[in-house]
């Protein structure tokens, strides 16, 4: 029996990708990571993939912008590229690009996204910084992170798993972020396992 196939999309350092790779190598995740895709050439996530002998694809948006092509055209072409890997699950692990229906529709309920805030709390970019600033302003007492099914609305979609993360009185942004990232690494693995169990 062939194992489920996972494609991971990254834009940066790839620490959450590394958590998935580590879990796959220990057998905690019983699947094959068949490709890692990045829209940034310098993304260290690509290096992590190469170190684990996982095929990589660099697929930038800039040439589309220069050619006057739409974001939807980019997303459609990206979907076609990803489809070649025949994925059962697509994981957005620090993918800094809002995907339109041109990408999401062909992979309905197969794309999951990690977001470092709780549902409806701090959608969009810089969620960790915005959470901490809100704490300092007395507006929130905690942060959190979640993994959800990706839909066209940013950081919305059915939640697979979420966890509150307390903010301590002696926290700096750095200490809070470090603690949050550790939870992210755990939740992304749990979410992948939950999704694979439904296949």
Check if 142 is active-site.
Answer: no
Query: How big is the chain, counted in residues?
Result: 199
The answer to whether 139 and 127 have CB atoms below 8 angstroms apart is no
Out of 97, 115, 181, 185, pick the active-site residue: 115
Can you list the alpha helix ranges (DSSP code H) found in the chain? 15-26, 44-51, 62-66, 71-83, 101-104, 127-136, 173-197
Query: What dihedral angle (degrees, nearest 10) is formed by the CA atoms of 57, 85, 83, 195?
Result: -110
**Opening angle at CA 45, ends 98 and 28, nearest 5:** 100
Structural tokens at position 140: 């929130």
Within 13 A of 35's CA, how many CA atoms are on the CB side?
Answer: 19
- The helix/strand/coil state of 44 is helix
Structural tokens at position 52: 């684990």
The rounded distance, in Å, linking the Cα atoms of 126 and 57 is 26
Which residues belong to the active site?
115
């Amino acid at each position: 029996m062939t194992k489920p196939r996972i494609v991971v999309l990254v834009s940066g350092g790839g620490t959450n990708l590394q958590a998935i790779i580590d879990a796959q190598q220990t057998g905690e995740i019983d699947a094959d990571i068949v490709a890692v895709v990045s829209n940034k050439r310098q993304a260290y996530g690509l290096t992590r993939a190469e170190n684990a002998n996982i095929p990589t694809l660099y697929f930038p948006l800039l040439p589309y912008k220069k050619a006057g092509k739409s974001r939807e055209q980019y997303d459609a072409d990206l979907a076609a590229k990803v489809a070649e890997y025949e994925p059962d699950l697509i994981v957005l692990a620090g993918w800094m690009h809002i995907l339109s229906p041109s990408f999401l529709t062909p992979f309905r309920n197969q794309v999951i996204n990690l977001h470092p805030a709780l549902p409806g709390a701090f959608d969009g970019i810089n969620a960790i910084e915005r959470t901490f600033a809100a704490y300092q302003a007395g507006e929130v007492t905690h942060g959190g992170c979640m993994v959800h099914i990706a839909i066209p609305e940013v950081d919305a979609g059915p939640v697979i798993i979420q966890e509150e993360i307390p903010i301590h009185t002696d926290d700096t942004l750095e200490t809070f972020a470090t603690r949050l990232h550790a939870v992210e690494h755990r939740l992304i693995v749990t979410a992948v396992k939950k999704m694979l169990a439904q296949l």
